[in-house]
Structure 1
Amino acid sequence: MTHSWQFWHRWLGVLSCIGLILWGLSGISHPIMTRVQPVPAAFQPPAQHLDLKAAIAPAQLLPQHGIHALNQLSVHVLDGKPAYRVVTDMRKPALWLDARSGQRIEHADRDYAIQLARHYTHWRQRQVVDARWITGFSTQYPAVQRLLPVWQITFEGDDRPRAYIDNGQIRLATLSDRRRDLFSAWFHFGHNWGFLDSVPGLQVPLAGLVLSAILISAISGLVLALRRRGGGRQHGVRRVHRQLGLAVALATLLLASSGLLHLMVSAEQAQRAMPLASSTITLADLQAAPWQALAEQSLRQLTLLQLGGKPYWLWQSTSAATPRSQVGVLAQESKPAKAADTKATHGNATLAKATLGKDAHAEHGGHANHGRLPNAWAADQPVVFDLPMLAIARLQLAMLTGRPVADFGHTSVVHKFGGEYGFIFKRLPVVRIDSLLADGQHYYIEPATGVLAAQIEPMDRFEGWVFAYLHKWVFADANKTLRDLLVSLFALGNVVLGVLGMLLFLRRK
């Protein structure tokens, strides 16, 4: 029986050596990479106040520039003045128009990205040497960043510091430089096995095979060590290999098993990922009353969305003590209404009531956030609704999944990363929506873009816990330096173990 364990340990150990060395060395590089990468100077977007009282309505201005349909429309402050950012092709930089004069602003999307890059970084006094529109992931901007398209703003300096900016949501995607590029490329090569990117059908099965070999080799090595304990002295490389194997055995089993589970669950997640859909908004659907109401408000954010085939405004007020996101219906049939009537009599009220549910009353301190905007309509104008963010997200998710709103239960706004919705998902704020079906799924949707940021199943939650505690050792986050040192030492021990095992195999042959 001992010879059988020895056979499996020897031959699977040869296969394991490759994985131990690659995963061990690349794992050691990760905590180094997190320490040498550039750190943002700011974590919140610049404050802006949208003064739209003298602005030309988009429905009036955009047709003058030959635009009758678009994918995205948002309002920003550029050089102290309000401007429309218009996206008609997701593959190209946005068109910018001065909201007051109506004139096109040349190179404004690039200039705005540079303005944001200076806000978010410590490189505000450095010259910009390159500004590049990025529509695909690369080794410098890997898929783990998730956000596309973005602007890559490169500043002067031998380290080639770069900021990646998402103009549409006024956010920083990530910062990088030459040092981070080096570590990131090595981590992708050694930990994610990027050398097999060209053959994705082989990447996951081969990595899974090697991880399985590591697990069996570690278990067989433990069995051999325990059976031979006190059964004769070993010397030289063999003795060091045995003692080191015992010392790192637990870490090897934890890291390999959690890595194998992560590999399998990640592959399954990739297969059910929903593609990013870009909706088309027709300007003919825009009406004057909602815009006139919004132009009189004190706003810090204003974006045009599409829900159920109709355009809506998503805005954030600056007048409230706690700013909140809201939506006004833009596409309605004209219907007379009495100014004293506090109930929406328009046909879209059905849509509002269906999507609000009990969550409308739970948001914003227990007050339902729907009804009409002050001074937003007159007796001969359409009714304007005011829907909370939770209702928006429920409707967006229903359209993305093709399921009725009744399938979704509790909703809540998520303002920070943590738990099952970690930093890897990148997008904030998002709304978590729980499924009422037996699948137990949690959905995280970003209302400002309509993007499904994450879809978490029960197995995903279990794998996330396993990966966090058994692979990344977050239980030791109280002292991250000590945690990184311990993980690196055990990873290095596995590298040395693999090298010694290979030496023993070659010596025997």
Structure 2
Amino acid sequence: MKRYLYLWHRWLGIVLCLFMALWFVSGVVMLYVGYPALTPAERLAPLPPLPAKPCCVGLDRALAASGEQAAPHSVKLTSIANQPRYLLSYPGKPQVAIDARSGQRIAALGEADALLAGAAFARGPGVRYLGLVDQDMWSHSRALDSERPFHVVQVDDAEQRRLYISQHNGRVVRDVTAQERLWNWVGAWLHWLYPLRGGVFDHWAADVVIYLSLAGTVAAILGQVIGLMRWRFAKPYRSGSRSPYSGGFARWHHIGGLLFGFVLIAWIFSGLVSMRPWQLFASQSTLSQAAYRGAELRPEAFALSAETALARFHQVGFEPRELDWRITGGVAYLVAYDRTGDRRVLPAAGISEPYLQVPGTILEHGALAMQPDAQVDFLWLTGYDFYYFARAEPSMYAQQRKPLPMLRVRFDDPASTWVHIDPYSGEVIEQLDQRMRVYRWLFNLLHSWDWLPLLERPLLREALIIAFSVGGFVISVSGVVLGWRRLHPRAGPKKARPPTKTRTEAQ
């Protein structure tokens, strides 16, 4: 049995140690340079203030111009190429853009339109057109699938940004700086095995990562077992060492594995969990966000016009860059965003001035409609905890807004669902059922070390991750060398031959 443990560990290690070494190097890079994403602050800052007059056709004309029979999932008034545009979202489709002044639907954009949109977003520096792409190494995100293909525009600024602009509506959906392009070659591009994406292996890319991580987890566990078996706790070897290896890469591999092996196992296993294999962490919650809204986004729900709403916001000194039409618990209202992402709420009936938050009674009424027969517990969170926390750049969660206070609604449904609601907009931030909370432990905690005491001490967190990554790198590189020597015996250190005996000595 012991022999088979050695054999499985050896041959799995020969195949996998190079991948593990790359994962450790790229993981450290990702601490400081994450995969490109457009954060809310980056998206809002270049937008001009929405003018109160002349502004917009009515919501009824905008929805009629979309050509869609169903009510939109969301309605937004924003600026594209410095012109006001309605953006209508329908599930599984690219956002529909409507010219807010003429009420005409925007057709597919060409090169000239993309340059205008890019120049407006860049706000000063010159722009150059690079082409139309469906997917490249900076736009692999599944969240962008409905907006493909993209016009790519190069900005001649200090950061040498590239803007990805939806061909369907002219919206800038991603910006990538030269520094992000450079460091991601040895960061996320390697860490997530993106060389497999977008080509002939694209269909199997996720499975490759899953099974490599699974095999790596098995190899690391076997190595930990063997390392403990070979360590002399009671009586050292003849050399005086408690390791059977007196020096070289074998000793580094053995002792490094004992010191850092458990963290190595946790990181590789949690990397496997991040892929959500075999639907193990698929949400089982049946709560409906349509029920939370309580009504469809129809023009008759909004008595207040866009021009009147914008005038109300300007009267209180708030300059909206974007305007959202929302319904929660059957109550219609508009949410305005300024250039910093700060928000104000105005009832669609127009009978009051803008206020800071959606009233809690409206939020709770909408939440109760999601599962009318369930027992519900309301908790207003005023500080971050283990299941709700903010991440700064360059985390892949940096673009997710995590405001405080926040309303947590806990249901006693079969999936034991928690719903987090943003009171500044009424938006459902996330739904966490029991499986997703387990996922939070097995991925976010084990892989990213998203633990509040460490997140509050970023320098300590980074130092610990780097130190343990160096340990994992030592294990992996020494494994690569040992594996190479196993496959190519001549590559190893030459052993001194015993002196040849003379005939007289032999006698």
TM-score grouping bracket, smaller chain normalisation: 0.5 to 0.7
Contact 1:26 1:191 in 2 (8 A): no
- Structure 1: gaps (5+ residues): 331-370, 377-384
Shift of 1:87: 4.5
> Which residue is 1:388 aligned to?
358
Aligned equivalents of 2:147, 2:383: Cα separation in 1:
24
Structure 2 residue 304 is the aligned partner of structure 1 residue 305: no
2:492 is the alignment partner of 1:492:
no
| 1:272 lines up with 2:275 in the alignment | no
**Match 1:427 to one of 380, 400, 403:** 400
Q: Deviations over 1:76-134 (max 9, x none)?
A: 245665443344685335323133x5466664985685257526xxx9334242366x6
Cα deviation per residue 1:205-254 (whole Å; 9 max; x = unaligned)?
A: 56324302311222212320326832358999975302442034322221
* From 6, 18, 21, the counterpart of 1:9: 6
Between the aligned partners of 2:38 and 2:356, the Cα distance in structure 1 is 36
Correspondence for 1:96 among 95, 98, 105: 98
Task: Encode CA deviations 1:398-435: one digit per residue, 9 max, x unaligned.
Answer: 66x65668624114489999964544343215655241
Aligned counterpart for 1:179 among listed residues 177, 182, 205: 182
Contact 2:374 2:412 in 1 (8 A): no
Which amino acid letter does the alignment assign opposite residue 225 of structure 2? Answer: I
Q: 2:210 aligns with which of 204, 210, 231?
A: 204
Unaligned runs of 5+ in 2: 490-507
C-alpha separation in 2, matches of 1:445 and 1:113: 33
1:144-173 Cα offsets, whole Å, 9 max, x none, are 87796475643168x9953357999x8865
Q: 3-state SS of the aligned residue for 2:51? A: coil
Conservation of the 8 A alpha-carbon contact between 2:239 and 2:246: no
Distance (whole Å) between structure 2 residues aligned to residue 316 and residue 404 of structure 1: 34
- TM-score, with length taken from structure 2: 0.65
Distance 1:22 1:145, change over 3 A: farther
Partner SS for 2:52 = coil
Distance 1:86 1:66, change over 3 A: closer
Q: TM-score, normalised by structure 1?
A: 0.65
Q: 1:219 aligns with which of 225, 246, 268?
A: 225
CA contact (8 A) 1:75 1:84 kept: yes
| 1:187 Cα deviation after fit | 2.0
- In the alignment, which residue of structure 1 is the partner of 2:255? 246
CA distance in 2, matches of 1:418, 1:124: 42
What's the secondary structure of 2:396's corresponding residue?
A: helix
Structure 2 equivalent of residue 351 of structure 1? none
Counterpart in 2 of 1:294?
309
Pick one of 249, 265, 268 that aligns with 1:256: 265
Q: Which residue does the alignment assign to 1:363?
A: none
Instruction: Summarize the Cα distance change of 1:292–1:156 in structure 2 as closer, same or farther, 3 Å threshold.
Output: closer
- Alpha-carbon distance in 1 for matches of 2:142, 2:382: 23
Q: Aligned partner of 1:218: which letter?
A: Q
Contact 1:25 1:491 in 2 (8 A): no
1:50 aligns with 2:55: no
Aligned with residue 328 of structure 1, among 347, 368, 374: 347
Distance (whole Å) between structure 2 residues aligned to residue 481 and residue 76 of structure 1: 38
Match of 2:493 in 1: none
Contact 2:115–2:128 (CA under 8 A) maintained in structure 1? no
Summarize the Cα distance change of 1:403–1:127 in structure 2 as closer, same or farther, 3 Å threshold: farther
> CA–CA distance in 2 between the matches of 1:270 and 1:29?
26
Q: Which amino acid letter does the alignment assign opposite residue 138 of structure 2?
A: Q
Residue aligning to 1:140: 138
SS in 1 for 2:228: helix
Asked if the contact 1:258–1:470 (Cα under 8 Å) also holds between the matched residues in 2, the reply is no
Q: Between the two proteins, what is the percent identity of the paired residues?
A: 11
Give the SS at the match of 2:473. helix
Q: Could you tell me how far apart the structure 1 residues matched to 2:487 and 2:385 are?
A: 52
In structure 1, the partner of 2:130 is 129
Whole-angstrom CA distance in 2 between matches of 1:111 and 1:429: 33
Aligned residues: 444
1:182-223 alpha-carbon deviations (Å, 9 max, x no partner):
333322229999968527567535632430231122221232
Whether the aligned pair in 2 keeps the contact of 1:315 and 1:327 (CA below 8 Å) is yes
- What does 1:393-432 correspond to in 2, within 5 Å? 402=371, 407-412=376-381, 420-422=389-391, 423-425=395-397, 426-429=399-402, 431=406
- Residue 494 of structure 2 is matched in structure 1 by none
Give SS of 2:192's match.
helix
Residue number in structure 2 paired with 1:380: none
Offset of residue 493 of structure 1: 0.8
Is 1:153–1:164's contact at 8 Å kept on the other side of the alignment?
Answer: yes
Secondary structure at the counterpart of residue 74 of structure 1: strand
1:338 corresponds to which residue? none
> Is the 8 Å Cα contact of residues 81 and 118 (structure 2) preserved in structure 1?
no
Q: CA RMSD in A?
A: 5.4
1:414–1:432 Cα contact (<8 Å) kept: no
The answer on 1:502 being equivalent to 2:483 is yes
